Amino acid sequence: MLKLIAMKNKFILLAYFMFIGIFLSCKEDVEDPALSADFSADVQTVKAGNPVTFTDISEGTATRWNWTFTGGTPATSELSSPTVVYDKPGTYAVTLTLGNGTTTSTVTKETFITVSFNEIAANFEVDKTTIKQGESIKFSDVSTGMPTAWRWELTKATGTPIVVTEQNPTVTFTEPGIYTVKFTASNPEYSNVITKAALLTVVDITAVEANFTSNLSGTYTGGAIDFTDQSVGTATTWNWTFEGGSPATSSSQNPTITYNTPGRYNVRLVASNAAKTSTIEKTGYVVVVPSNSLVAFYPFGGNVNDAGPNKANPITPVGTVAFNATDRKHMENNVAVFDGASVLVVPDNDALNFKTSDYSVSVWIKTNKTNTMMVWQESGKKGSKDNQTWLRMGDNTTDRYARFTTEDESGGKIINMGTEGRLSDNAWHHVVCVREGTNMNVYVDGKLVKQESTAVKNVSNEQNFKIGAQENATGFLNYFNGMLDDMVIYKKALTAAEVTALYTL
């Protein structure tokens, strides 16, 4: 019996030790291995400016990461898998330190990342493209790809090129001419060239080319015109000659001249410096109309400005009226060009309210269109039997090539013109409409072509004066398509001699 008990105890003791062994073995299986820092990267050779993504491949369980990236951006990180950009070529180390509360592990991999140069796209900017001789231009490199060397070659047709090797040079030009810029941007692995032909203009400080402009191309007797020097180069003295002007000469750079006699006059400018002289003369540049009873004068010399004595109500363009054509005197940009969809509106004012008084409207017309077109209209917005007067073209191609009307609430009188009013032949024609008491007269190219008598009509009310379209209650219609020039309006009846004088200006 004792032997049986002893064997039983031995068996229990053996089982106990076996359990302890199994327990310790399982415990060893679930414990984390020791921390051992390690990492990898998606690429180890990269071009400058491109990203690299790092991955923690360490043994053990980490709860914190501290990366150091020499030459990288960011330079440090606490992420487990950071992305870093390397902007400068070179070979760089990466360090990773792991921690899990009580234990740390660090690994450094020298020369782990190799950054090479990127391809270059050469480009540059300049702060100005036109200077005077002796002045400077700043060049700015805006290339991509991190160049480390630069070569600027500034050449003109003749002479020695200017060569500069700074990245952002400022160059002073002592020789006048037109320069082409060739720019080469390089790094140890790549090079790229950009050429901008005839980019720079260096003006000879002794050169001068006379030119001028003015605020108006026409005026009235007693009116003034402001002249502006627009000479190119270096002018230090100016000698003007104004035919018909007062004063007749001037040495001011930008003089103001008064004209006291009707006519068409030349303007001459001599621009000079110590070395050179240049002369320009513009024939028939200024037209001067008589001022007696003048209420408006639109010379259309590059703008819609009224050159007459009543300038308080400027024209409002509706649409686009251009000034890019040649007038009957072969002067460029000196005529109003209507596109068939635009009108010039002169706000209502006493000067253009003719009512029952005498008046005359003179205008030069050029068009090849035969459709119905209103040249000008005073009042008339309410339609038939409204107070109005107008000149219209193209109502038909038989007996109504052109029509001049005077109308009020009692009705109107219309002068219908057949072939004598045929204006749509693409040639310049001078048309003057005159109301003198009970007479209505139409002159074409200096000659009286039609005359009618009628009761005196009140042809104005508080409405606008229109140039280039008809107005009714709903808007504009019958737009003019062609060119108009030198519109002159008088609150008096012009005589035949006065009409001829305007025609010959």
Cα–Cα distance measured from residue 505 to residue 486, given in angstroms and rounded to the nearest whole number? 10
Q: 294-503: which CATH number, 3.40.50.20, 2.60.120.200, 3.40.50.11540, 3.40.50.300?
A: 2.60.120.200
Question: Could you tell me the CA-to-CA distances from 214 to 192, 230, 301, 344, 385 in Å, in that order?
Answer: 49, 10, 9, 22, 43
Cα–Cα distance measured from residue 246 to residue 221, given in angstroms and rounded to the nearest whole number? 11
Helix (H) or strand (E) holding 30: helix 2-30
What's the alpha-carbon Rg for the chain, to the nearest Å? 45
Beta strands 45-47 and 104-116 are parallel
Question: What pLDDT was estimated at residue 10?
Answer: 46
The reply to whether 124-203 shares the fold of 39-116 is yes
DSSP label at 34? P
Query: Residue 42: helix, strand or coil by DSSP?
Result: coil
Cα–Cα distance measured from residue 207 to residue 75, given in angstroms and rounded to the nearest whole number? 59
Q: E strands, 142-289, where?
A: 149-155, 162-164, 170-172, 177-186, 191-203, 208-209, 212-214, 218-220, 223-229, 232-233, 237-242, 245-246, 249-250, 256-259, 263-272, 277-289
Backbone angles phi, psi at 105, to 5 degrees: -145, 140
Q: E strands, 33-186, where?
A: 39-41, 45-47, 51-56, 64-69, 72-73, 76-77, 83-86, 90-99, 104-116, 124-126, 130-132, 136-141, 149-155, 162-164, 170-172, 177-186
Backbone angles phi, psi at 5, to 5 degrees: -65, -40
Q: What is the CATH number of domain 124-203?
A: 2.60.40.10
DSSP label at 59? B
**For residue 374, what are its two tokens?**
């209103």
Structural domain boundaries of the chain? 39-116, 124-203, 208-289, 294-503
**For residue 234, what are its two tokens?**
């270096």
For residue 358, give the amino acid letter: D
CATH 3.40.50.720: does it fit domain 208-289? no
- Token look-up 């291995």 returns 33
Backbone angles phi, psi at 27, to 5 degrees: -65, -40
Cα–Cα distance measured from residue 114 to residue 94, given in angstroms and rounded to the nearest whole number? 11
Handedness of CA 299, 300, 302, 308 (dihedral sign): positive
Sheet hosting strand 191-203, strand order edge to edge: 130-132, 191-203, 177-186, 149-155, 162-164
Percent of residues in the chain assigned helix, strand, coil, to nearest 5: 10, 50, 45
Longest dimension (CA), the chain: 166
Cα–Cα distance measured from residue 479 to residue 309, given in angstroms and rounded to the nearest whole number? 28
Query: Residue 3: helix, strand or coil by DSSP?
Result: helix
Cα–Cα distance measured from residue 219 to residue 217, given in angstroms and rounded to the nearest whole number? 7
pLDDT (tens place) for every residue of the chain, 505 residues total:
334 334 444 444 344 444 444 334 434 444 557 999 999 999 999 999 899 999 999 999 999 999 999 999 999 999 999 999 998 999 999 999 999 988 999 999 999 999 999 999 999 999 999 998 999 999 999 999 889 999 999 999 888 999 999 999 999 999 999 999 999 999 999 999 999 999 999 988 898 999 999 999 999 999 999 999 999 888 999 999 999 999 999 999 999 999 999 999 999 999 999 999 999 999 999 999 999 999 999 999 999 999 999 875 689 999 999 999 999 999 999 999 999 999 999 999 998 999 999 999 999 999 999 999 999 999 999 999 999 999 999 999 999 999 999 999 999 999 999 999 999 999 999 999 999 999 999 999 999 999 999 999 999 999 999 999 999 999 999 999 999 999 999 999 999 999 999 999 9
Is residue 203 within 8 A of residue 137, CB to CB? The reply is no
Question: Could you tell me the CA-to-CA distances from 368 to 423, 426, 447 in Å, in that order?
Answer: 8, 4, 22
Strand partners, 280: 269
Is residue 181 within 8 A of residue 111, CB to CB? The reply is no
Query: Residue 350: helix, strand or coil by DSSP?
Result: helix
CATH 1.10.10.1150: does it fit domain 39-116? no
- Token look-up 């820092």 returns 37
Handedness of CA 145, 146, 147, 153 (dihedral sign): positive
Q: Is the preceding omega at residue 33 within 30 degrees of 0, hence cis?
A: no
- Token look-up 């231009």 returns 137
Burial 234-244 (b: 16+ CB within 10 A, else e): bbeebebebbb
For residue 306, give the amino acid letter: D
